[in-house]
């Protein structure tokens, strides 16, 4: 199992980095859209749709939503991306995560609000569209590839810090009804690592510390929420993994759950702060 996990992780990292640094913007957006649609197929199962036709329809609707968001924001136009429209959709995505936080805190009682198939289907759209939009927008920025890599690193540091701090010091459960293994100590461990990352970027990169903290810390906090929301829905659905697509890792959603929350927050922070590398 460990060997499978390592091989899969290495192959995924190679594919992602190659696409990130060598594909033109349009093809990279298509690459991201492909993974988002695979995640949509998995989410259709989390939403409770078991028939292949239903799941295929869910993927089709997701594809239409992705296309509509790209068209609305003028991706690919000669005049450039419409940042006002990007900001509107990212605010919608970030607003959704604020609601999701309340649902995680209120689980299992909150399941009365979102436990039906249709609410869970809408939930998937609100997760997947901002993820695609955030990554596509960041790629258009100066130094966009490095910003995307930074967003992935933020999620990784939150996860790594959470794992080791949780194992060493974990006593108080973060969300016992959703993910019993997560602790407040682990949460602070991940946040501490990302704070150190922000200090390092500020010191070695010459960026304003306030600016770097204002971009990195919210994304770090959101990454934890993304993990919890998928765990909550899987617990409600009584399944362990979103799929078995990735040997040793489960499904695409199981690998990018934290990224789905962190990226829209990170992209919105970049848009509002005008931070450029």
Per-residue model confidence as pLDDT tens digits over 23-55: 998 999 999 999 999 999 999 999 999 899 999
The gap between the terminal CA atoms of the chain, to the nearest Å, is 39
In the chain, the percentage of residues whose pLDDT exceeds 90 is 83
Residue 47 structure tokens: 């939403």
Band of residue 80 on the pLDDT scale cut at 50, 70, 90: confident
Q: What are phi and psi of 174, to 5 degrees?
A: -80, -50
What is the C-alpha separation between 204 and 112, in angstroms, rounded? 49
> Which residues, 6 or more positions from 267, have their beta carbon under 8 angstroms from its beta carbon?
86, 90, 133, 134, 135, 137, 138
> Which residues, 6 or more positions from 161, have their beta carbon under 8 angstroms from its beta carbon?
186, 189, 190, 191, 192, 193, 194
Q: What per-residue confidence (pLDDT) applies to 135? A: 97
Task: Compute the residue count for the chain.
Answer: 277
Q: What per-residue confidence (pLDDT) applies to 7? A: 79
> Could you write out the DSSP letters of every residue in 161-225?
HHHHHHHHH--SEEETTTEEEEEHHHHHHHHHHHHHHHHHHHHHH---HHHHHHHHHHHHHHHHH
Locate the domains of the chain by residue range.
2-273
Q: Which has the closest alpha carbon to 87: 276, 264, 277, 275?
A: 264
Q: Which has the closest alpha carbon to 127: 158, 105, 159, 94?
A: 94
CB count within 10 Å of CB 178 equals 23
pLDDT in tens, 167-217: 999 899 999 999 999 999 999 999 999 999 999 999 999 999 999 999 999
Q: What per-residue confidence (pLDDT) applies to 3? A: 67
Mean pLDDT across 98-102: 96
Q: Would you give the distance in Å from CA 171 to the centre of its chain? A: 27
Q: What per-residue confidence (pLDDT) applies to 141? A: 94
Residue 232 structure tokens: 């909550």
pLDDT in tens, 147-166: 999 999 999 999 999 999 99
What is the C-alpha separation between 127 and 106, in angstroms, rounded? 19
pLDDT in tens, 220-261: 999 999 999 999 999 999 998 888 887 766 789 988 999 999
Residue 17 structure tokens: 């980095």
Q: What per-residue confidence (pLDDT) applies to 6? A: 76
What is the C-alpha separation between 217 and 135, in angstroms, rounded? 18
Matching residue, tokens 């499904």:
251
Band of residue 4 on the pLDDT scale cut at 50, 70, 90: confident
Q: Sign of torsion, CA 135 136 137 140?
A: positive
What is the C-alpha separation between 107 and 175, in angstroms, rounded? 9
State the pTM of this model: 0.94
261 within 8 A of 211, measured Cβ to Cβ: no
**pLDDT at 2 exceeding the cut of 60:** no
């Amino acid at each position: 199992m460990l060997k499978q996990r390592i091989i899969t992780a290495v192959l995924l990292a190679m594919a992602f980095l190659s696409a990130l640094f060598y594909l033109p913007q349009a093809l990279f957006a298509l690459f991201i859209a492909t993974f988002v649609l695979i995640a949509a197929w998995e989410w259709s199962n989390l939403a409770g749709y078991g028939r292949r036709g239903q799941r295929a329809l869910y993927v089709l609707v997701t594809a239409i939503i992705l296309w509509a968001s790209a068209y609305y924001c003028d991706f690919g136009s000669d005049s450039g991306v419409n940042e006002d429209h990007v900001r509107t959709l990212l605010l919608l995505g970030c607003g959704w995560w604020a609601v999701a936080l309340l649902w995680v805190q209120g689980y299992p009682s909150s399941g009365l609000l979102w436990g039906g198939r249709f609410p869970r289907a809408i939930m998937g759209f609100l997760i997947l569209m901002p993820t695609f939009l955030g990554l596509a927008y960041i790629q258009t920025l100066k130094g966009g590839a490095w910003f995307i890599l930074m967003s992935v690193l933020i999620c990784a540091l939150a996860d790594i810090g959470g794992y080791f701090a949780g194992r060493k010091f974990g006593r108080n459960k973060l969300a016992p009804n959703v993910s019993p293994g997560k602790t407040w100590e682990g949460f602070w461990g991940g946040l501490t690592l990302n704070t150190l990352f922000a200090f390092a970027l500020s010191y070695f990169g010459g960026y304003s510390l306030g600016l770097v903290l204002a971009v990195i810390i919210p994304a770090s906090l959101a990454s934890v929420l993304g993990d919890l929301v998928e765990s909550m829905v899987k617990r409600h659905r009584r399944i362990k993994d979103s799929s078995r697509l990735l040997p040793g890792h489960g499904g695409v959603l199981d690998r990018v759950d934290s990224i789905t929350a962190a990226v829209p927050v990170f992209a919105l922070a970049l848009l509002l702060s005008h931070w450029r590398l």
